[in-house]
Structure 1
Amino acid sequence: MKRELLRSVTAALLAGTALLPVTMPRGAWAAQSPFAVEMKTMEIDGLTVAYREAGDPSDPTVLLLHGFPTSSHMFRELIPVLAEDYHVIAPDYPGFGASDMPSASEYEYSFANTARTVTRLIDEKGVDDYAVYLMDYGAPVGYRMFAEHPERVTGFVIQNGNAYEEGLREFWDPFRAYWEDPSAENGDALRGFLTLDATMWQFTHGVGDVGAVNPDNFWHVQYLLDRPGNQEVQLEMFLDYGTNLGEYPKWQALFREHQPPTLIVWGQNDYIFPAEGAHPYKQDLTDVEFHLLDTGHFALEEYGDVIAAEMQDFLARIQD
């Protein structure tokens, strides 16, 4: 029954992707920026962790936390726009992007461990406080960091990342089955989400103009997913995602207590994290700028210029 459910959900997700036009994006909204983005690495607990950095370290820091199945690559055009006024850091989590990928049997792939790694990185960079962009996996990573040191967070930019169970709809049914019974069978049933068709679907579903999505995203992401051993890494993260739901009440209480100013820029057509997950933040946070965008999961691809402009206004306000 569970396998049949996954097949039906996966079929619905992947419908129409095979014939998607492969066209170049309509604009280069970050083009011409004089602020170079450097790709750097740092040794943390025996791992080489990659990160992108730009801007003057004496300026306020903006931390960019990526989602699944991408990396700091998703911020490639946003970083130079922000770097004119801010110090920007965008890490690749272990197992993602250009960071080391130890085997799943040799390393703890979890959101708690990822949060510890990112905290170590900004500590080593001498960052005391920061505003943070949270997307998809970046939300539980960033909220775990917030839970440990809420005083360090000057503001949230939330893009399709949950801290409430609202919006975790039928897409999550096969994942819930895996959380309840982490058997090899239930894990194997999720491998369909690691294919090229699923990757293309994540970037294009709910998008108004598919031509705005750079197809380089597909090949970049899929190359990383197809590395030997990476599916096991992703299954560990799929399994551990279930632990985040138990943390939601703690994070919500911290929102109410500390009231970090928040900008929500949410792709409302996202099937993974639909707009139902965006609205509950307004129940706990009082200083919220709220924008639903007519796009899908990776909202930066189609609405990068809009998000960048909203972020610049928001960040300028909270730094005053």
Structure 2
Amino acid sequence: MTTLSYRTADVDGFNIFYREAGTKGAPKLLLLHGFPTSSHMFRDLIPLLADRFHIVAPDLPGFGRSDLPGRGHSFERIAEAIDRFTEVVGFDRYAVYVFDYGAPTGFRLAVKHPERITAIISQNGNAYEEGLSEGWNPIRAYWQDASPANREALRAFLKPEASAWQYTHGVSDPSAVSPDGYSLDNFYMARPGVEEVQLDLFGDYRSNVALYPAFQRYFREHKPRFLAVWGRNDPFFLPPGAEAFKRDIPDAVVRFFDTGHFALETHAAEIATAIRDFFAP
């Protein structure tokens, strides 16, 4: 049985909730979730890896049980908070698992501290223009014109049915997807003030796309050990985005699974096996 601890770190006065498992002294693995979820998305993966790694999975600022920041929230601020969080919890050198919003967060950390990153696992975590689907078009429209009408149109992404759709789209058998994940996401997303913060992040996502050349330069220059585990039917991040990592990291390992955006909901065991194989001596 794996013992998980549920803790809160004080990061310069900002509270970040996190899950922790494994043995201190084992290789460190930082798990970074995406939108609209929290560290709860790793509930099935953590027990499958805790015998091999010292695992820490924080809720990003504005998500889950972590504190809610004020307006003007940005990915740069998220990365700064998680950077300090890793220092507070003693993660000096670590592998990082990135998903969705966790990708631009983790890639920012890698660019800033390449010496700290031992490996990267990207699960539908994009860093290439060809990985962006047409599903981004309403958000792109907001980047180009931050009008009240374009901002209002994005509230559709925050509705409970949109969360459920993200979990089930591209899954061959939707009954295999537990409703607990998106139901908990919707609970946390209903906190007062969360909607405006999330809309701010939709607008700021363009800063991540602007950093794609910097992320790619890091990949080319440092060539970190890299594993992509990708839900092939993701409506937001396309398979060419996974294949593109090999352009900058020729030794990158790319694995596709017949599932959607939230690949861990249906393929946690297979992804855990891929990770264990990747790190095998």
Q: Under a length normalisation based on structure 1, what TM-score does the superposition of the two structures give? A: 0.86
Q: Which residue of 1 aligns with 2:140?
A: 176
Q: Which amino acid aligns with 2:108?
A: R
CA distance, structure 2, for counterparts of residue 287 and residue 132 of structure 1:
17
CA distance, structure 1, for counterparts of residue 26 and residue 182 of structure 2:
34
Q: Which residue of 1 aligns with 2:47?
A: 80
Superimposed CA distance per residue, residues 71-100 of structure 1 (whole angstroms, 9 cap, x where no aligned partner): 000001111221112100000011101101
Counterpart of 1:98 (choices 30, 42, 65) is 65
After superposition, where does 1:45-84 map in structure 2 within 5 Å? 45-84=12-51
Please say if 1:238 is aligned against 2:202.
Answer: yes
Identity of aligned residues (%): 51
Please say if 1:292 is aligned against 2:256.
Answer: yes
Q: Which residue of 2 aligns with 1:152?
A: 116
Could you tell me whether the CA contact under 8 Å between 2:48 and 2:269 is conserved in 1? no
Could you tell me whether the CA contact under 8 Å between 1:130 and 1:153 is conserved in 2? yes
Q: Post-superposition shift, 1:315?
A: 2.3
Please say if 1:279 is aligned against 2:243.
Answer: yes
Q: Post-superposition shift, 1:119?
A: 1.2
CA distance, structure 2, for counterparts of residue 182 and residue 64 of structure 1:
32
- Name the SS for the 1:189 alignment partner: helix
Counterpart of 1:217 (choices 181, 190, 197) is 181
CA distance, structure 2, for counterparts of residue 47 and residue 286 of structure 1:
39
Q: Which residue of 1 aligns with 2:129?
A: 165
- Name the SS for the 1:316 alignment partner: coil
Q: Which residue of 2 aligns with 1:264?
A: 228
CA distance, structure 2, for counterparts of residue 169 and residue 127 of structure 1:
34
CA distance, structure 2, for counterparts of residue 228 and residue 126 of structure 1:
32
CA distance, structure 2, for counterparts of residue 283 and residue 214 of structure 1:
36
* Greater Cα offset, 61-70 or 119-128: 119-128
- Name the SS for the 1:182 alignment partner: coil
Q: Which amino acid aligns with 2:31?
A: L
CA distance, structure 2, for counterparts of residue 167 and residue 103 of structure 1:
30
Please say if 1:134 is aligned against 2:98.
Answer: yes
* Structure 2 unaligned regions, length at least 5: none
Q: Which amino acid aligns with 2:220?
A: R
- Name the SS for the 1:310 alignment partner: helix
Q: Under a length normalisation based on structure 2, what TM-score does the superposition of the two structures give? A: 0.97
Q: Which residue of 2 aligns with 1:314?
A: 278
CA distance, structure 2, for counterparts of residue 262 and residue 102 of structure 1:
32
CA distance, structure 2, for counterparts of residue 139 and residue 167 of structure 1:
13
CA distance, structure 2, for counterparts of residue 209 and residue 302 of structure 1:
9
CA distance, structure 2, for counterparts of residue 142 and residue 173 of structure 1:
24
* Structure 1 unaligned regions, length at least 5: 1-33
- Matched residues, number: 281
Superimposed CA distance per residue, residues 2-59 of structure 1 (whole angstroms, 9 cap, x where no aligned partner): xxxxxxxxxxxxxxxxxxxxxxxxxxxxxxxx12111100111321110111111211
- Name the SS for the 1:278 alignment partner: helix
Could you tell me whether the CA contact under 8 Å between 2:37 and 2:182 is conserved in 1? no
CA distance, structure 2, for counterparts of residue 221 and residue 210 of structure 1:
18
Could you tell me whether the CA contact under 8 Å between 2:228 and 2:254 is conserved in 1? yes
Q: Post-superposition shift, 1:218?
A: 2.0
Q: Which amino acid aligns with 2:77?
A: N
Q: Post-superposition shift, 1:60?
A: 0.8
Q: Which amino acid aligns with 1:267?
A: G
Could you tell me whether the CA contact under 8 Å between 1:260 and 1:287 is conserved in 2? no
Aligned-residue RMSD, C-alpha: 1.1
Q: Post-superposition shift, 1:169?
A: 2.5
Q: Which residue of 1 aligns with 2:163?
A: 199
CA distance, structure 1, for counterparts of residue 27 and residue 129 of structure 2:
32
Q: Post-superposition shift, 1:235?
A: 0.4
Q: Post-superposition shift, 1:102?
A: 3.4
Structure 1 stretches of 4+ with a deviation exceeding 6 A read none
